Chains A and B, each alone.
Chain A
């Protein structure tokens, strides 16, 4: 009797150890790719990341050196254009979904936003190519920025809606009971309370589109030189990496590794920023 009970106990311990080991290994497997990617980029790319990389234009084939200054600035420009269009539309749309509108229409809009979030990003490139590039007969920074904005909008819309809905109703009622108008309540009380969540959503959307290549192929197109006008093609880090990586030259391959390292580091920094923004959980929700 006694020995049987002990057996049972041992078996339970083994099962428990088995379960926790499996969970641990799975967790490692999740982190492993990130570690491998970063490690690989570091090994292959670090040698080409130097002052020239950040300050010089790409060198012509055969010449040693050169950098991706135009692509780095181009990416930032594209993000600025995308943000200028995508942030207001996404945030205001999300606030509308959370605060106004009828339940039925809102559930349709919400569903459509989720569908948009699932559309492969190259589709947006093709759409903008058809709408803008063909009409104005030119690839352009504006077209590239618009394609990225279209990806950002449903992302920001949904995160904004969710964090705005998290704001307790008591704050809305308190403001309205002071005789504050509806829109002032939404702007000064609700959106302010949800601001951390909204900013997080915006940063994550920027990080997401910052690495997009496909939607830029037919819109921003890429440029080996500085871009002087929003109506001209513009270089972007992911595009430059793509072009260099599929080229036959070792020199360009090294530059592609370096570009990828810089891009991943940039996106990593945005994510760290997100952690920083959301760190102080004291005052407001979400």
Chain B
């Protein structure tokens, strides 16, 4: 007799590989295996196994406190900044163990960029300085290279036309949505392989949100994107794959269309139809 926990795990393991309707197996960016994280005595996520497909948008949805941000932060070791965290399981980035003893978390974070819920351009820096500060603080001095990267990153973040004449103004002088795109440009400037987004639109108005969503859609041609959201319509609009977390567990994972139209789990269906959360 399998316990309910085991059954869930089995289903998850089964579901972790998205339905293979495309013939060649999709390339994987992350492979998380049996990841559990504790904050002190409290277990935030439990035994999560989830594969993130390259050059696609994966959305993690679920009610507040379900561990979706914790899982996201485990993908670039940001959760280690919280005191008294403990982790079990493995996370592979392109087959490499992110948590091996020889890996420097700073290098992991250079490869796996992050955009936060609250836009946080550095208040002491201009718009331009904000974009290239990651490169500068990592020792890049070549001004020509920095200028090129500055323009390229701002263009990719769809902000160049709005700020190209104001690069010397403080980063905090921009509007909320522009600040968030500035933060995306800042993350892009260090040329990461993946971009994690922790509810990037939850503090923005609908127009600014639409711009960010459009941007995410464009970025996925070049980047793997993992985004946390508790806005289900947004997950439906922007993501290719959706993972539903509940109470620290992965309940269901699959192609977004399948999750939203035909969830296999009762809890997923209840959440998506707004019966709880």
Contact = CB atoms under 8 A, between A and B. Distances in A.
The residue in A168, A171, A184, A283 that gathers the most chain B C-beta atoms within 10 A of its C-beta is A283
B170 interface: yes
A198 to B, nearest CB: 13
A159 to B, nearest CB: 19
Contact of B183 (A174, A176, A184, A193): A174
Label chain A's interface by main secondary structure. helix
Contacts of B122: 171, 174-175, 189, 193
Contacts of B81: 172-173, 176
A176 B76 CA distance: 10
Contacts of A189: 122, 124
A193 B111 CA distance: 26
B264 to A, nearest CB: 35
Contact of B137 (A168, A170, A184, A193): A184
18 contacts: A172-B81, A174-B120, A174-B186, A175-B134, A175-B137, A176-B78, A177-B78, A177-B114, A178-B133, A180-B137, A188-B133, A189-B124, A193-B124, A282-B170, A283-B123, A283-B170, A284-B124, A285-B123
B113 interface: yes
B118 interface: yes
B221 interface: no
Interface residues of B, number: 27
Nearest to A178: B134
Contacts of A193: 122-124
B9 interface: no
A192 B133 CA distance: 13
Contacts, number: 77
B109 A179 contact: yes
A173 B124 contact: no
Contacts of A173: 78, 81, 114, 116, 120
A175 B113 CA distance: 10
A181 interface: yes
Contacts of A195: 124
A176 B109 contact: yes
A170 B120 contact: yes
Nearest to A196: B124
B172 interface: yes
Nearest to B83: A103
B124 A192 contact: yes
A177 B76 contact: yes
Interface string A261-286: 00000000000000000000011110
A285 B123 CA distance: 8
A179 B172 contact: no
Contacts of A282: 170, 172
Given A174-B116, A174-B183, A284-B123, A179 B107 contact: yes
A99 to B, nearest CB: 12
B106 A179 contact: yes
Nearest to B107: A179
